[in-house]
Amino acid sequence: MAEDNHEQTPLLQDQEDQDHHTSHERMGDQADIRNFIQNETPSGHHISFPKKIHAILPRLFGLINSLVESTDAGDDVVTDDVVEFIAGLGKEVVYGLLRCVETYLNEGERDVGRKRLLQRRADIAQLAAASVTRLFVGKDLMATYCHVLTRPFYAAGEDRDTAENAIEIAIRVHATDFLAEVEVQRCVQALWNGLILQTEDDESGVRFVEYSGVRRSRHVLWEWVDVGRLNVPRYQNNIKIAMFILFLAMYTIVVNNRTDYPSIVEWGVYVFVCGYIFEEFRLIFEGGSAFFLGSLWHWINIISYSMFIFSFALRFTGCYVVVGDDARDHYSNLSYDLLALLSIFLWVKTLSLLDGFQYFGTMIMVLQKMLKDGIMFFWLLAWVYIGFFQSFYALQEDDLKDFGSSTMLLVRGFLQDPDWELAESIDHNYGNYLFGLYLFFTSIILLNLLIALFNSSYTNITDSSEKEYLALFTFKVFSYLKSPDQFPYAAPFNLIEVFLVIPWSTVLSTESYRKLNRMVMGPLFSIPILIIARSERKRYLKLKDANEDSDIQGGRHMYRYLTVDDPDAENLFLMTTREYENDELTAGTAATIANAEEGVLATGSQDHLRSTVSPLESFEEFKARRRREKEAKSAAHKVVDNSLRASVGASGSGTGASSGQLTDSVVQSLLESLARMEAKQKEMETLLQNYIDQEK
């Protein structure tokens, strides 16, 4: 696993005497890193990101260790110089800082004595990662989203399959401070609404690119129809909700109307369940079991689908295997009874449809935390139960020993329905006393402990409810992205993909297989595709009317203009492009634009995010260099100011003008400046008028 490889280098060693490292050994470590950078980097080439990450991780750990030497260190240790120095190491530093967070937290669980210190260092690393992200966004917003936050990285010596992006690590280690950062959430919203799309990459498996598929030349609804928009997590979620509501309605009809043989609606329910089961297996295969089991709803799915399978087996046995009406009715009744019990899990699962709302999302987080704490409580209760059960069973006479009576006595006592007569019948001498001790432990001590645990869980979640909700929402978004299916068939339509489409992938070329999927998905999801096209066109026209007088120029910063205090992040992509004369100009595009089938996928520019700090430059050397640069700039400004003052003074004295009058040369210079400004204004008015005429 990646966690083992993460700690092969001495990254957590403090720069103190208690680390049992001499200064000579630390100098040797630094020399090894310098030699690695010098020897592994070809002349005139940039270091590949696995090797670069392997090289910068020790620098990040060393910097954070030096900044946070005790638990009293405040957030102010992350100064502007620290942020600029870290950002100068390159676009991989946000990933590296979150790797630091992961290692600090893991080491804190093993080293209890230093847990608080390591937790504080993890917090500072999160703060630094958020600050660096803001700095990168100020340089190039879309490049930060596509190449800093969402690009998968891994260090040299690690398996390529362990590559993760910064947001995925933050989800796994529950780095809520980083996930709640405004720019990180804008990136998540862009992923959720389809501004940034996921595509395949030969180097790291997947990569995220900007979607620039909207054009002002689209005037009719048909031009907005795009099968590729079904890949957007938001639309996948909406289709999933609609299909689950249909499934729940069909299930309600079946469970409340018992029939001798399965009806068409009942067979439809079983088809839905098969589709859902295939979907769960696909999530496990493509997203990994750890990511799959990290959600409460997946556990509910495992239980409910298992009960569905058992119910179907009973129903099939009663209708088509056994002979006789009595046997058929017996198995059918068992099947319907099991289906009736399933309603508990299905209606609880409807809460997952509402986790997009902050209130319900927060309550779901509280529920998950309470269930985890409840598992710890019931383990303790199990040991208490075993001890008292053995005592009551041993007190029974040999010829009257009964497991059922002891079990029922303890269960009823825990549920506040004590049976004192049964306790006395088990043993006249000690039965009541032992049962009273059991009630004291369970009803007074353990139940109050459970209440305290639940109260603590609720308080911890609600105190940081916004951060917890944003973490839950981010997990929801990446639960769709962890299964990078280019052609998402919603259940139960995924059965068509499994049995009719996927077999053709072995004989068709990539392009032919893509065309086949588009031919199948077009008619199959025609209604959702038309709804998506209509909604996107409607939002685009609304945004166009609101901004038709705004002269928004191209460039990455237009996204910041559109998203300030605007929760509708899905409107971002609607203004990303415009037509000027006959040439199409794409606002905010990068150096390379790939024409993909779902639209124009524009990779973000990385020019502003390349390393500006020498691999061999320490933080102290960086601060000294910055100080010298500031002093040099200040001195240069003083020289220029003095020269201007001397020039103006000499001109004034040469013409004999008084101090209250302007010289002829100064007046002439001002007139020329005004003339240039007027010419520039006329030029801008002409361009604006041409633009308005073209729009008309």
96, 99, 101, 105: CA torsion to nearest 10: -160
Of the candidate ranges 139-148, 390-399, 499-508, 679-688, the one whose mean pLDDT is the lowest? 679-688
Q: Is the residue at 611 inside a domain?
A: no
Residues 139 and 58 in one domain: yes
Helices 325-349, 296-320: crossing angle, 10 deg rounding? 170
For residue 556, CA distances in Å to 134, 140, 195, 214, 561 come to 14, 6, 13, 16, 10
Measuring CA to CA, which residue among 212, 165, 41 is closest to residue 573? 212
Average pLDDT, the chain: 76
Helices 358-395, 403-414: crossing angle, 10 deg rounding? 140
Answer yes or no: is pLDDT of 540 > 80.
no
Answer yes or no: is pLDDT of 268 > 90.
yes
Residues 184 and 306 in one domain: no
Residue-wise DSSP of 484-533: --SS-PPTTTHHHIIIIIGGGGGTS-HHHHHHHHHHHHHHHTHHHHHHHH
Compare 104 and 162 and report the one with higher pLDDT: 104
Of the candidate ranges 238-252, 472-486, 580-594, the one whose mean pLDDT is the lowest? 580-594
Q: Is the residue at 220 inside a domain?
A: no
- Residues 6 or more apart whose CB falls under 8 angstroms from that of 288 comprise 482
Answer yes or no: is pLDDT of 254 > 90.
yes
Which amino acid belongs to residue 421?
E
**What's the helix, strand, coil split of the chain in %, to 5?**
70, 5, 25
185, 191, 195, 197: CA torsion to nearest 10: 150
How are beta strands 205-211 and 593-596 bridged, if at all?
unpaired
Q: What is the pLDDT of residue 102?
A: 93
Q: Most confidently modeled of 24-33, 247-256, 409-418?
A: 247-256
Q: What is the DSSP letter of 164?
A: B
Q: Rounded to whole angstroms, how far apart are CA atoms 227 and 243? A: 18
Compare 538 and 243 and report the one with higher pLDDT: 243
Residues 19 and 142 in one domain: yes
Residues 187 and 65 in one domain: yes
Contact of 154 with 54, CB cutoff 8 Å: no
Q: What is the mean pLDDT of residues 524-537?
A: 88
Q: Rounded to whole angstroms, how far apart are CA atoms 13 and 635? A: 42
Contact of 279 with 310, CB cutoff 8 Å: no
223, 226, 232, 235: CA torsion to nearest 10: 80
Q: What is the pLDDT of residue 31?
A: 46
Q: What is the pLDDT of residue 694?
A: 62
Q: Looking at 549, 566, 582, which one is the last position of a domain?
A: 549
What is the domain range of residue 512? Answer: 232-354+486-549
Which amino acid belongs to residue 627?
R
Q: What is the mean pLDDT of residues 646-673?
A: 56
Query: Which helix (DSSP H) or strand (DSSP E) does residue 265 occupy?
Result: helix 264-287
* 3-state per-residue secondary structure call for 422-468: HHHHHCCCCHHHHHHHHHHHHHHHHHHHHHHHHHHHHHHHHHCHHHH
Q: What is the pLDDT of residue 507?
A: 87
Which amino acid belongs to residue 93?
V
Q: What is the pLDDT of residue 46?
A: 38
Q: Is the residue at 182 inside a domain?
A: yes
Planar angle of CA 134, 136, 142, nearest 5 degrees = 105
* 3-state DSSP assignment of residue 282: helix
Q: Is the residue at 672 inside a domain?
A: yes
Q: Rounded to whole angstroms, how far apart are CA atoms 479 and 406? A: 46
Q: Rounded to whole angstroms, how far apart are CA atoms 617 and 89? A: 10
195, 198, 203, 204: CA torsion to nearest 10: 110
Measuring CA to CA, which residue among 635, 672, 644, 598 is closest to residue 212? 598
Q: What is the pLDDT of residue 426?
A: 84
Q: Rounded to whole angstroms, how far apart are CA atoms 248 and 95? A: 42
Give the pTM.
0.69
Residues 372 and 398 in one domain: yes
User: Which tokens go with 165?
Assistant: 């992006």
Q: Looking at 211, 243, 277, which one is the last position of a domain?
A: 211
Residues 15 and 117 in one domain: yes
Residues 447 and 529 in one domain: no
Q: Is the residue at 556 inside a domain?
A: no
Residues 349 and 456 in one domain: no
For residue 186, CA distances in Å to 179, 309, 343 come to 10, 42, 37
Adjacency order of strands within the sheet including 196-201: 196-201, 205-211, 599-602, 593-596
Q: What is the pLDDT of residue 610?
A: 61
Q: Rounded to whole angstroms, how far apart are CA atoms 300 and 288? A: 18
Q: What is the mean pLDDT of residues 121-139?
A: 93
Residue-wise DSSP of 348-400: HHGGGGGTTSHHHHHHHHHHHHHHHHHHHHHHHHHHHHHHHHHHHHHHS-GGG
Peptide bond into 262 cis (omega under 30): no
Residue-wise DSSP of 136-153: HHHH-HHHHIIIIISS-B
Which amino acid belongs to residue 97?
L
Answer yes or no: is pLDDT of 287 > 70.
no
User: Which tokens go with 141?
Assistant: 């917003």
Greatest pairwise CA separation for the chain in angstroms: 130
Q: On the CB side of 87, how many CA atoms lie within 13 Å of its CA?
A: 23
Q: Is the residue at 295 inside a domain?
A: yes
Residues 20 and 144 in one domain: yes
Planar angle of CA 181, 576, 693, nearest 5 degrees = 145
Q: Which residues pair with 197 in a beta bridge?
A: 209
Q: What is the pLDDT of residue 209?
A: 81
Let me know if 488 is exposed, middle or buried by CB neighbors in 10 A (0-12, 13-18, 19+): buried
Answer yes or no: is pLDDT of 309 > 90.
yes
Q: What is the pLDDT of residue 260?
A: 86
**295-305 CB burial, b ≥16 within 10 A, e <16:** bbbbebbeebb
Q: What is the pLDDT of residue 192?
A: 92
* 3-state DSSP assignment of residue 202: coil
Q: What is the pLDDT of residue 437?
A: 92
Measuring CA to CA, which residue among 232, 357, 282, 269 is closest to residue 240? 232
Percent of the chain scoring above 70 in pLDDT: 72
Name the band, by pLDDT with cuts 50, 70 and 90, for residue 182.
very high
Q: Rounded to whole angstroms, how far apart are CA atoms 130 and 176? A: 11
Q: How many distinct structural domains can be found in the chain?
A: 5
Residues 199 and 237 in one domain: no
Measuring CA to CA, which residue among 568, 582, 577 is closest to residue 189? 568
Q: Looking at 211, 246, 261, which one is the last position of a domain?
A: 211
Q: Is the residue at 563 inside a domain?
A: no
Name the band, by pLDDT with cuts 50, 70 and 90, for residue 252.
very high
For residue 347, CA distances in Å to 178, 339, 340, 353 come to 33, 13, 12, 10
Predicted confidence (pLDDT) per residue in 555-574, tens digit: 333 333 333 343 443 443 33
Q: What is the mean pLDDT of residues 328-348?
A: 90
* 3-state per-residue secondary structure call for 90-140: CCCHHHHHHHHHHHHHHHHHHCHHHHHHHHHHHHHHHHHHHHHHHHHHHHC
Of the candidate ranges 44-53, 369-378, 463-472, 588-597, the one whose mean pLDDT is the lowest? 588-597
| φ, ψ of residue 153 in degrees (nearest 5) | -130, 160
Q: Is the residue at 465 inside a domain?
A: yes
How far does Cα 77 stand from its chain's mean position?
27
Q: On the CB side of 669, how many CA atoms lie within 13 Å of its CA?
A: 7
Residues 7 and 131 in one domain: yes
User: Which tokens go with 438?
Assistant: 């059991």
Residues 322 and 408 in one domain: no
